[in-house]
Structure 1
C-alpha cells in the first residue's frame, strides 16, 4: 500500500476518499483510531492509502481537484 494523503482534516479526508472511489480506486484510511485516541493535538494524522499499482493514478485524480499529498 502507498500513502497518497496525510491529514488531520476529516472533511478533506472524506472528500479525497470520495474522489478516489468515483475514479474506481479503493482507498483505506490508516491511523484513524490512533488519531481518535490522542485527541485533537494533531500528533497522529490519518493516512489515506491505496494499492501500489493505483498510486500514480490516485495522485493524478487528487491533483485534478487540487488535493496534494501533505507530509
Structure 2
C-alpha cells in the first residue's frame, strides 16, 4: 500500500474514496481513530492508501478532480 492522500478534513477523504471507488480502485483509510487516542478532535491527519499498482491511476483521478496531493 502507498499513501495517496493525507488530510484532516473527513469530507476530502470521503470524496476521494467515492471517486476512486467509481474507478474500481480499492482504498484503505489509516489513522481514523488516532485523534481519539490522542485526545484531540480531528487534528491529526488521516491517510488514504491505495495498492501500488493503482497509484498512478489514483493520482490521475485526484488531479482530474482538483484534489491536491503531495508527491
Assess same fold via TM > 0.5: yes
Structure 2 length-normalised TM: 0.88
Q: Contact 2:8–2:42 at 8 Å: present in 1 too? A: no
| Aligned ranges 1:15-54 → 2 under 5 Å | 15-38=15-38, 39-40=40-41, 42=43, 44-54=44-54
Distance 2:33 2:42 in 1: 14
Deviations 1:27-62 (A, max 9, x none): 0100101133332262x3100000000001000001
Structure 2: how far apart are the matches of 1:14 and 1:20? Answer: 10
Q: TM-score, normalised by structure 1?
A: 0.88
Structure 2 unaligned blocks of 5 or more: none
Question: What count of residue pairs does the alignment treat as equivalent?
Answer: 70
Give 5+ residue unaligned stretches, structure 1: none
